[in-house]
Amino acid sequence: MSTRESGTTATPPVFLVETVPASGQVVLDGEEARHAATVRRLRVGERLMLSDGDGGLARCVVDAVQAGRDASLRLSIEERWTEPAPALRVIVAQALVKGDRGELAVELATEAGADAVLPWRAARSVAKWEDGPRGEKALARWRSTARAAAKQARRSRVPEVGEPVNTRALTELISASAVTLVLESAVSERLADVELPESGDLILIVGPEGGITDEEITTFTDAGAKIVRLSPTVLRTSTAAAVALGALGALTTRWA
């Protein structure tokens, strides 16, 4: 598969499928078809994109539409390609937060280009994802949010939302990363002053509303993390990752 050169026309809506065929005709059914036919109201002759969530994309034209509970669309594939993964992969370690702010954080980070999200059980996290049905339900909401946000942003890749990690597990990942940045407002070093790698995993750690504890900061720096300030103002945990991802896009080749 080849990488498609960027065009000048607006990107059609994206619908996720398990596998994107190489060519020919394909039937889109299930929940994605109901959304396409009922919510988007796509009609014969209009175009949409199929994505496998892992870089595979196909531009398709709608040949036939069946609406209703058993909705389906018959599509003809016009072009199929694969977009490469970024050389510098950003993993957002997002502290658990109460209410829907965690889902907002995932939504904004996904739209801003996060490649993966790790729910972090920080010491000051008010929300507690215990093992069992309640924790599984909360994780499912984060994953559903990432999926929907990736489609909204016309992304070819849906960021993986991993199982929640504690500080010890996160520290082990820091040691294996190309660089880890911990966002903290009360330091002098700015994110813009850090020498960033061209490839590998960059872990971006975002604390809870109550902040990261001194013990966590020490643990992270002992593992090799850099503590950096993103801006002169204090950002909420739900928006910090998205703002940092925008800065990283401008400071690296991720937006090239």
Report yes or no: 96 and 127 within 8 Å, Cβ to Cβ.
yes
pLDDT in tens, 142-175: 999 999 999 999 999 999 999 999 999 999 999 9
Rounded CA-CA distance 152/15 in Å is 10
Report yes or no: 156 and 202 within 8 Å, Cβ to Cβ.
no
- Model pLDDT, residue 69: 85
Instruction: Please name the residues in contact with 247: beta carbons below 8 A apart, sequence gap of 6 or more.
Output: 191, 192, 230
- Model pLDDT, residue 203: 98
Token pair 């190489």 is at which residue? Answer: 22
The band of 33, judged by pLDDT with boundaries at 50, 70 and 90, is: very high
Please indicate, yes or no, whether the overall pTM of this predicted structure exceeds 0.75: yes
| Whether residue 131 has pLDDT greater than 50 | yes
Average pLDDT, the chain: 93
The band of 121, judged by pLDDT with boundaries at 50, 70 and 90, is: very high
Q: What is the mean pLDDT of residues 85-90?
A: 96
Q: Which two tokens stand for residue 206?
A: 């975002």
- Model pLDDT, residue 98: 87
| Whether residue 3 has pLDDT greater than 50 | no
Rounded CA-CA distance 203/218 in Å is 17
- Model pLDDT, residue 1: 41
| Whether residue 7 has pLDDT greater than 50 | no
- Model pLDDT, residue 234: 85
Q: Which two tokens stand for residue 57?
A: 């994309």
pLDDT, greater one: 217 or 127:
217
**Domain boundaries in the chain?**
14-82, 88-251
| Whether residue 110 has pLDDT greater than 80 | yes
pLDDT in tens, 177-206: 999 999 998 899 999 999 999 999 999 999
pLDDT in tens, 15-29: 999 999 999 999 999
pLDDT in tens, 202-256: 999 999 999 999 999 999 999 999 999 988 888 899 999 999 999 999 999 998 8
- Rg of the chain taking only CA atoms, in angstroms: 20
Buried/exposed code over 30-63 (b: 16+ C-beta within 10 A; e: otherwise): eebbbbbbeeeebeeebebbbbbbebbbbbbebe
**Which CATH architecture best describes the domain 14-82?**
Beta Barrel (2.40)
How many CB atoms sit inside 10 A of residue 177's CB?
18
| DSSP string covering 91-156 | EEEEEP-STTHHHHHHHHHHHTT-SEEEEE--TT-S----TTHHHHHHHHHHHHHHHHHHHHTT-S
Q: Which two tokens stand for residue 179?
A: 């660089």
Which CATH superfamily does the domain covering 88-251 fall into?
Answer: SPOUT methyltransferase, trefoil knot domain (3.40.1280.10)
Half-sphere exposure of 120 (CA within 13 A, CB side): 30
